[in-house]
Structures are given as structure tokens and as C-alpha cells.
Amino acid sequence: MSKLYASAAEALDGLLRDDMLIAAGGFGLCGIPELLLQAIQDSGVKDLTFASNNAGVDDFGIGILLQSKQVRKMMSSYVGENAEFMRQYLSGELEIEFNPQGTLAERMRAGGAGIPGFYTKTGVGTQVAEGKEHKEFDGETYILERGIFADLSIVKAWKADETGNAIFRKTARNFNPPAAMCGRICVMEVEEIVPNGSLDPDHIHLPGIYVHRLIQGDHEKRIEQRTVREA
């Protein structure tokens, strides 16, 4: 059965509903599944929970879904570039579950590996640890973190073959592979889809077994913070 679809809307057909938990790849504005996010906005689904390192910016990435009030909760590490995110959080319109960055990545990876929980020292003695089980190992205190099992994963790859074997470029690799792994269904948008057998197996970052649907599209190359030297 072919995994290839003609558009983001077609690839998401039959998968979306209100109150979903969606794991989204991306790091800053790098590797954001922008076409799938736009299709989710167009679908009109609401009360969504997103597990994502960040929420994009106001008019790009998950930010567009915050603007349209389709997101109920964010499970994130970094939210500093999104004014609408800040406004909704401070006004009580948006629920936030803050995660240390490595913990969030491991929660996704654990979910993808079928691991319901793990212990980590990160966050011990801080607000992150409040309400969580504490346990000692070899005289050190750890807290229990839960694996993330998402209803849907949406990710973006640089290159993939027709079965979904994928390569991510640079920092896009930080969260896209674990986000892809933890979803019951994974939809991936790709800059370039190549024939099967074209990619070196030793260079694959995400095996195609995790990917259920694929689209190829044109993507915007944004810079989150443009910093230049004076001439």
C-alpha cells in the first residue's frame, strides 16, 4: 500500500478530531511541519493538546493554531518567541505543562519504545517535580516522568524514500525522530521524496516503519532571530 498522498489535507483525512494529543516535530523554526499545521488549522478541529519543543512564532508553526484558538494545552520546553502564547497563558486561556528539554525528548522517545515511564534527576527540587513520584537510586533522588503516547505525530524531514525512511538536517533532527516515534499514526511532510533504495541505510535517522503517510511540498525557510554584524 502506498504511503504517498497528494496534499497535507489528504494525508490528514480521517485522522483529525477534537481533543487530540498531537506530537509535533521542530526545533525553533527548524523542521516545523508547516504544511500539516496549516491543514490542521483549515480543518477546524479544536481543544487540541500539542507536545512540541516550542510553539513557533505568532504567525508560523503552532502559532497559527494558537491564533485561531484551536489549542487547549501545550506540553513544551521553550515558549519565548510567541507573544500570543504568552498572552493566552497569562490570561488563563491556555494550559501549559512545562518540560525540561531533554525530558520532553525522552518522554517522546519512551512512548515510541513502548515505555510508560522512566526516572530522571532533571527537575528534582523544582516546580517540575511537584506532584510526581520520587524514588531513590544509589542515594540519589529521581522523579518519575511519563512516556508520551500521542494520537497523531506530524513531522518534517529533509529527504525520505517512498516507504518513509527519512533523513533530517542538523537541528531538525532534535525532536522530529522522537515525535514521529510516539504517535499511533505518523504523517510526515518531506522536502524531497526519492525512490526506494536511493538512501544509504547507514544514514537513515528514522526508519519508515514509524511513518504511515507521506507528502512532498514546498517549504518556507524562515530565520527566527536574524543577527548580523555591523559593516
Assigned domain for 120 exists? no
Q: For a pLDDT cut of 70, what percent of the chain falls above it?
A: 100
Give the per-residue SS3 of 13-79: CCCCCCCCEEEECCECCECCCHHHHHHHHHHCCCCEEEECCCCCECCECCHHHHHCCCEEEEEECCC
Count: domains in the chain:
1
Helix (H, G, I), strand (E, B) or coil at 206: strand
Confirm whether 229 is domain-assigned: no
Domain that holds residue 99: 8-113+147-216
Domain assignment of residue 185, yes or no: yes
Domain membership of residue 126 (yes or no) is no
Q: Kindly report, residue by residue over 66-87, the tens digit of the pLDDT.
A: 999 999 999 999 877 788 988 9
pTM of the model: 0.93
Residue 142 included in any domain: no
Query: pLDDT for 90-120, tens place per residue?
Result: 999 999 999 999 999 999 999 999 999 999 9
* DSSP helix/strand/coil, 84: helix
Q: Residue 64 maps to which CATH number?
A: 3.40.1080.10
Work out the mean pLDDT of the chain and round it to a whole number.
Answer: 94
**Which H or E run includes 12?**
helix 8-12
pLDDT in tens, 3-45: 999 999 999 999 999 999 999 999 988 999 999 999 999 999 9
Is residue 139 in some structural domain?
no
Kindly state whether residue 127 falls inside one of the protein's structural domains.
no
In a domain, 121, yes or no: no
- Partners of 96 in the beta sheet? 74
Cell 511532510 sits at which residue?
189
